[in-house]
Amino acid sequence: MVVTGRLVAVAAVLALFVAVVLPSWYGIALACAALAIAVLFDLAAAGGAGDLTLTRPELTTVRQGRATAVELTVVNTGPRTVRGLLWDDWPRSARTENRRHTLELAPNTKVRLGTSLRPVHRGDRVAGPVTLRLFGPLGLAGRQTRRTVPARVRALPAFRSERLMRSKVKRLQHLEGRNVANTRGQGSEFDSFREYVAGDDVRSIDWRATARATDVLVRTWRPERNRHVLMLLDTGRVSAGRVGEGTRLDAAIEAALLLGGLAAAAGDGVDLLAYDRAVRTEVRGVRGNRLQLQLMHALAGVTPALVDTDSAGLVRATVERARRRSLVVWFTSLDGAAVEENLLPVLPVLAHRHRVLIVSVIDPDIAAAAATRDDVYAAAAAETVLAERALVQESLRRKGIAVVSAPPDRLPEALADEYLELKQSGSL
């Protein structure tokens, strides 16, 4: 039983009345009996929690940092009007608002109560119990109970670089010849013939076709389609490093989403594998418009693991999944020690069978420290880090491994441009 403030006020008034009018034990006992009868009547007239049916969607999705509302439907199936309060419990990280609701439901009626949430981190937030406090018509006392109503809110990656998708797809269409003449690239697929115009590459002239025609004909090409792109996300401890407003893994996820959507629009098959010492999540065999949403759901709950990544195990998992030649996009760190110990010993195995592209995010604070002269020691240390990084990139390029390195806000666009360059040159 829950005692309300109204009951305390009534008790105080009765005590004062008894003290003035009936200053005797008999009067006090009579007042207490009357108050007890009123409380019992109020409890008996209060609606029961068992008469309420509570339902809500089991899964609600929202982009990280955006607001959403989870709707709780309450139905009164009992014969009495239900009055009271309802609290909807969620984890603090869900950033909830409007959790407290007032109930007044007549028999056989329902109400929809919305709780606003704005999760600031990726992943699932599981709802806690719903607390019900039901009062009688006098509001003197009530009953309190808790009900479990399963529900989850999944915060998908923010994917702020989605605004770049339209312009990158237009450039892709330009390369494929949907808007202008096709371009020639090594290893590209033959499309058709057209007449030679000034400025065309003379190597594209088809002399056999020219001999059968009255004009000089050149071959036109279109970028290769139906290629395979495999994205590898290193989720080990290096991915937990802070860069800008997020972690290295957050920047990698942002870039992977843009690349996945662009490659799907190009007609390529896209798979994803997140790995540290075991497979954290993977997406395989999904094509077309469904790919990007599938990637977002798969990556929503992936967080850095504070362990060293098993690079050899990651390469074995990659070889098992990529049977034919593919573009392997590996999101990892380019720190000198990490490259020497983890990447260089295993990269030849991948580079022998696949086209490998290493993607790494640059810490903007290091670049800013190297540019300033307020702190000479910090600037010298930052320049040393940048110089080591440049040496590592040059070493990888000499081994035939391309590198994309940019700050977190520019990494998705830089990776998309590199993919389009590979697509144009037919290097996939």
- pLDDT tens digits for the chain (428 residues)? 544 545 445 554 555 455 555 555 655 665 566 556 656 655 565 566 677 899 999 999 999 989 999 999 999 888 888 888 899 999 988 898 888 999 888 888 999 999 999 998 999 999 999 998 887 766 666 778 899 999 999 999 999 999 999 999 888 887 766 444 444 444 455 556 677 777 666 677 777 777 777 777 777 655 556 789 999 999 998 898 888 888 999 999 999 999 999 999 888 899 999 999 999 999 998 888 889 999 999 999 999 998 989 999 999 999 888 888 899 999 998 876 777 777 888 888 888 888 999 999 988 777 777 777 677 777 787 777 777 788 887 888 888 888 998 899 999 999 999 999 888 776 66
Query: Which one, of 185, 151, 164, lies nearest residue 73 by Cα?
Result: 151
Is the pTM for the entire model greater than 0.85?
Answer: no
pLDDT at 127: 92
pLDDT at 10: 52
CA distances, 37 to each of 30, 95, 140, 225, 409 (Å): 11, 43, 11, 82, 69
257 contacts 296 by C-beta, under 8 angstroms: yes
φ and ψ at residue 402, rounded to 5 degrees: -75, 155
pLDDT at 181: 42
pLDDT at 235: 93
pLDDT at 213: 75
φ and ψ at residue 243, rounded to 5 degrees: -135, 115
Token pair recorded at residue 261: 């959507």
41 contacts 137 by C-beta, under 8 angstroms: no
DSSP string covering 348-365:
HHHHHHSEEEEEEE--HH
φ and ψ at residue 284, rounded to 5 degrees: -140, 145
pLDDT at 185: 45
Distance CA 112, CA 109 (A): 11
74 contacts 53 by C-beta, under 8 angstroms: yes
